[in-house]
Amino acid sequence: MNNEKPHQQPQFDDTDRLAVDAIRMICCDMVEKANSGHPGGPMSLADFVYVLWTRFMEHDPTDPDWPNRDRFVLSGGHTSTIQYALLGLFGYLPPAEWQRFRQLGSLTPGHVEHELIGAETTTGPLGQGFANAVGMALAEQVLREKFGSEAVHHRTFVTIGDGDIQEGICYEAASLAGHLQLDRLTVFFDDNHIQIDGATDLTFSEDVGARFKAQGFQVLHIDGHDHVQIAEALESARTNTTQPTLIVGRTTIGKGLVSLEGSNKTHGAPLGPEEIRATKEKLGLPPDESFHVPHTVSERFAAARARLSGRGADWRARLASRPDHESLLERLSSQPTPTLPEALPEFAPEDGKVATRNASGAFLKAVADSVDCLIGGAADLAGSVQTAKFLSEMTGELGPKNPGGRVIHFGVREHAMTSICNGIALHGGFIPFCGTFLVFADYMKPAIRLAALMKLKTVFVLTHDSFFLGEDGPTHQPVDQLAMLRALPGLTVIRPADGNETVAAWRYALTCAEGPVALILTRQGVPSLGHTPESAFEAVHRGAVTLSGHDVKNPDLLLLATGSEVAPAQEAGERLRASGYAVRVVAMGSCERFEAQPEEYKNEVLPQSAPVRLVIEAAAGQGFERYAGPLGELHCFDRFGESAPAGVLAEKFGFTPEGIFKRAEALIRKTPARARALKESLSRF
């Protein structure tokens, strides 16, 4: 049902044309002054973006974070100057920042960044912004179903180019958007037929409109420089209540340039002072003045600012009569921090072995109904990664017949799934999560990286975390994925050692984390270490804890293990102590959390008095050298696995208690000779 008032068809005049020409040249001036950037795309986009921002988009320059604002995403982040031009003209951005484009510390970086007032997301890697926009539209739909259209009724607009269209993530995200009938999503395809290497027909010949139509979109074809056609298409998108809309705007890259209009040379390089001067003369703008805004254009934007200012305050005033208005405003304004139920799953040693993926599923089942800000699902693996436990009787599964569901079936679309969840997080009102096998983090990596860059509270549930996956073989057994994820600044990677630590990891992710968290979970059962909920949370929050051998002053050996390798390391430590060796065992669930601890604590867990260390993890050892030290060794897995039962593989590769015992004892025995050799080598410097 469409609750919006009829939209009066806008009128356009010579001032609108002058405004667009001025915007085009402001974009060119930014690139020219920086001697770096992409002028052609902003020039082809200028007409659409101008009509959208001045006539259709609901936003408030005096209240940039107004929760019910329309969202605008420039998926091709390299066309950032067009957004900076509009932000400056509407008062979100000091126009002086135009002159600092791409300079250190400016508010106008080379690609759009989320931290900028008026920017909804960080864009640059093509296709990411489009999938983010799908997530924003999805979040709006679910929130509208929950809180009503008087509270939530905004739209999401995203511009894309040929590069976005060619990225696989765009196809994945569009497929899901069409299936879910996200009717408040409007996409403008800047169809200028040019990319970096030349005309798009070098590599691209498909009918984009037919493709999106097959995916469930309303598809409209227009002249992307005709303001009336643009307005008519936006109105058609606004009144379609059953489909998202793709507007295919045939445009010209470098529109308006004297000699380079339509050329791929305008894509990624300054135009040169002669071309800019001649173009300004052609358009009737002062040829020797940079960043010029004609008086009539300035007045036009002042009137638009006046018309839009106060929209946020009016919205809040309308909600003031609701009994839940304070909590509603808080919920819609950011990513929430939930209050978890007191009764969370606990796992005792007598319960036997429990896979940490199952413990994660038990947690999700326990919080499904009470934590209504949690939303998410899996990439066609809900049963395997145990997100199927998140089945809320109150909301159920999201789909065309249930637009308010919080259980999302993403299908086999790992890349889009991750970026859509980022869009949900950027929108606000939810904490999103998504799940698949750890090995498929390769497909998710670009979007996980952006979640870390933007400090989004997104949770990645990554299961089947080692060669213990077994019979599926090396294609499905992760080797390098943990090292890859740990290399990302801002991502907290947690590999819990048992069920209680898994519950604690979820607690940390939902209530403490200030950025994204990756939960690395087992397929196979692991025994409970006997944690209380408090000690399990301490282990996760600290990143590493000493499990046994606390009273050993000068250990012969320190065993450091992660995840499913902690239990066999603990057993090996007991055997070593029974053999007369002084041994400590440390469980490291999160390198990032450990590195965040005070030096005093880190030295307590990994003391200088324990220089002989064996680091144990069934994955590539890259990054653990810093914990092993010069006298230690890595008992890791720097090769591809094999197809066989998990127990057989554990035996072969030495990840049983017996295998760890033998490796540890051999290290202890050869350490004196290695220590002397190290001392001699150091004395040479």
Read off the pLDDT of residues 640-666 as tens digits, 9 standing for 90 and up: 999 999 999 999 999 999 999 999 999
pLDDT beyond 70 at 500: yes
CATH code where residue 637 lies: 3.40.50.920
Q: Are residues 527 and 670 in the same domain?
A: no
Domains in the chain: how many in total? Answer: 3
Residue 326 falls inside a structural domain: no
Domain end among 287, 314, 341: 314
Structural domain of residue 565, as residue ranges? 546-682
Residue 266 falls inside a structural domain: yes
Residue 338 falls inside a structural domain: no
Sorted by sequence, the CB contacts under 8 Å of residue 395 that are 6+ apart come out as 372, 402, 404, 405, 406, 407
Residue 480: count of CB within 10 angstroms of its CB: 16
CATH code where residue 418 lies: 3.40.50.970
Mean pLDDT, residues 447-452 = 98
Looking at residue 261, what is its pLDDT? 96
Residue 2 banded pLDDT, cuts 50, 70, 90 = very low
Name the average pLDDT for the chain. Answer: 95
Residue 681 banded pLDDT, cuts 50, 70, 90 = low
Looking at residue 367, what is its pLDDT? 95
Q: With 0-12 CB in 10 A as exposed, 13-18 as middle and 19+ as buried, what is 408?
A: buried
pLDDT beyond 60 at 685: no
| DSSP characters over 100-140 | GTT-TT-S--SS--TTSTT--S---STTHHHHHHHHHHHHH
Sorted by sequence, the CB contacts under 8 Å of residue 543 that are 6+ apart come out as 588, 589, 590, 591, 592, 593, 594, 595, 596, 597
So which residues are the catalytic ones?
414
Read off the pLDDT of residues 565-589 as tens digits, 9 standing for 90 and up: 999 999 999 999 999 999 999 999 9
Helix (H) or strand (E) holding 210: helix 208-214
Q: Are residues 584 and 612 in the same domain?
A: yes
Residue 339 falls inside a structural domain: no
Residue 340 falls inside a structural domain: no
Q: Are residues 458 and 524 in the same domain?
A: yes
Cα distance between residue 213 and residue 218, in whole Å: 6
> What Å distances lie between residue 421 and 131, 350, 451, CA to CA?
9, 38, 9
By the 8 A CB rule, do 423 and 138 touch?
yes
Q: Are residues 52 and 119 in the same domain?
A: yes
Q: With 0-12 CB in 10 A as exposed, 13-18 as middle and 19+ as buried, what is 475?
A: exposed
Read off the pLDDT of residues 145-165 as tens digits, 9 standing for 90 and up: 999 999 999 999 999 999 999
